[in-house]
Amino acid sequence: MSIRSTVIPAVIVGVAASLLFAIQGCWTTWGSNSVEQRTDDAYVRADMTPMSTRISGTVKKVDVEDYQAVMPGQTLIELDDADFQAILAQSEAALAASEASLANNQATKRVQDAKIQSAESMIQQASAAVAAAQAGIRSVQSDVTRTGLELKRQQALFTARAATRQQNETAEADATRFNGMLSAHEADLQHAQAAVASSRAAVQSERQQRAALDTADALYKADIQAKEAGIIVARVNLGYTRIVAPIGGTVGERHVQAGQLVSPGMQMIDLVQGERWIQANFKETQLTRMRRGDVADIKVDTYPGVVLHGKVAEIAPASGSQFALLPPDNATGNFTKVVQRIPVKIKLDPDPSWDGRLRPGFSAIVTVHESGPKPQEQRP
């Protein structure tokens, strides 16, 4: 065996080992230091809104075709609203009845106020009658005293035969007359006092009824508020029978047809919003120098030879695997290191000539011109 046949393979193995070591140790650094980062894991994206219903009903009419452009507020789907119109009419009728009950209660309150005023005037009249009876008693009391003394004097004189029978009878008649007048005034006083008590009791009763009407008034007002809230709910539910576009865009495929029964939460049609952007999934090793605002060049596979321009708008806060339904758990003991992909949102520069030409899902190739400092220039 010659020396040459031994040295050459050894040199080749050494060179290969050196290259493998250099590539393994510096490949990530070379990629991170590059000012241009390219990926073909990129797609055209747009906000998509699945339009669903919040009520149960039957589809009355589908007002748009598949993939039709729509304006904000344009009706997409109509549900049969007969039941909801009836519910609204019923709620409005119930509100009218409650308002009528409130108005009737207000009228009853006015009548009750008049009754209270009448009862209070009766108290005043009875009090005046009491005062008059008391005044009459005071005015007759002196005559009763005088005629009583005169009767006693005439009776004494008549007994002593110093006065005539006529004089005695006249004194007795005067005393009887004034005693009768006193009794009449006392009876009037009792009657007037009873009338005052009765009138006060009537006022108290009327006021209690008035308080009951105030309570009923509050109940009617609360019922009216409840009926008004019911009308609002009925109108809102009636509005749900029309599915409208919240913003402008393009509808996707229709999922329902006229006559179909739908339930709350059922997806009826998709709305693709007008603004388009690019989602580029870069490797984590490509983000070292990438910053928001970096310029990006985009090539869409559908339009070969055309280069679109944009800027990095956002860098996702986590890798795509972390947003998966079942994110990987590397603490199981079966760890295999895999370079992760981080979604980067690239906003296209305004260009009216491209409006409506890009479709969500188109594949793209993105090159970002990074502006961040080199890894060795970054501070920890």
Q: Structural domain boundaries of the chain? A: 34-80+248-377, 83-239
pLDDT at position 367 is 93
pLDDT band at residue 44 under the 50/70/90 scheme? very high
Higher per-residue confidence, 5 vs 97:
97
pLDDT at 372 over 90: no
Higher per-residue confidence, 111 vs 368:
368
Assigned token pair, 271: 């709305």
From the number of C-beta atoms within 10 Å of its C-beta (0-12, 13-18, 19+), residue 92 rates as middle
Give the mean pLDDT of 131-143. Answer: 68
CA distance linking residue 53 with residue 297, whole number of Å? 41
pLDDT at 42 over 90: yes
Same fold: 34-80+248-377 with 83-239: no
pLDDT at 30 over 50: no
Quick one: which of 287, 285, 293, 284 has its CA closest to 341? 284
Assigned token pair, 232: 């609002």
pLDDT at position 380 is 47
**How many residues does this entry show for the chain?**
380
pTM for this one? Answer: 0.62
Higher per-residue confidence, 378 vs 280:
280
Note the CATH number of domain 83-239: 1.10.287.620
Matching CATH number, 34-80+248-377, of 3.40.50.150, 3.30.450.40, 2.40.30.170, 3.40.50.2300:
2.40.30.170
pLDDT at position 217 is 83
pLDDT at position 14 is 66
pLDDT at 27 over 50: no
Compute how many other C-beta atoms are within 10 angstroms of the C-beta atom of residue 343.
19
- The answer to whether residues 364 and 301 touch, using CB atoms and an 8 Å cutoff, is yes
- The answer to whether residues 176 and 170 touch, using CB atoms and an 8 Å cutoff, is no
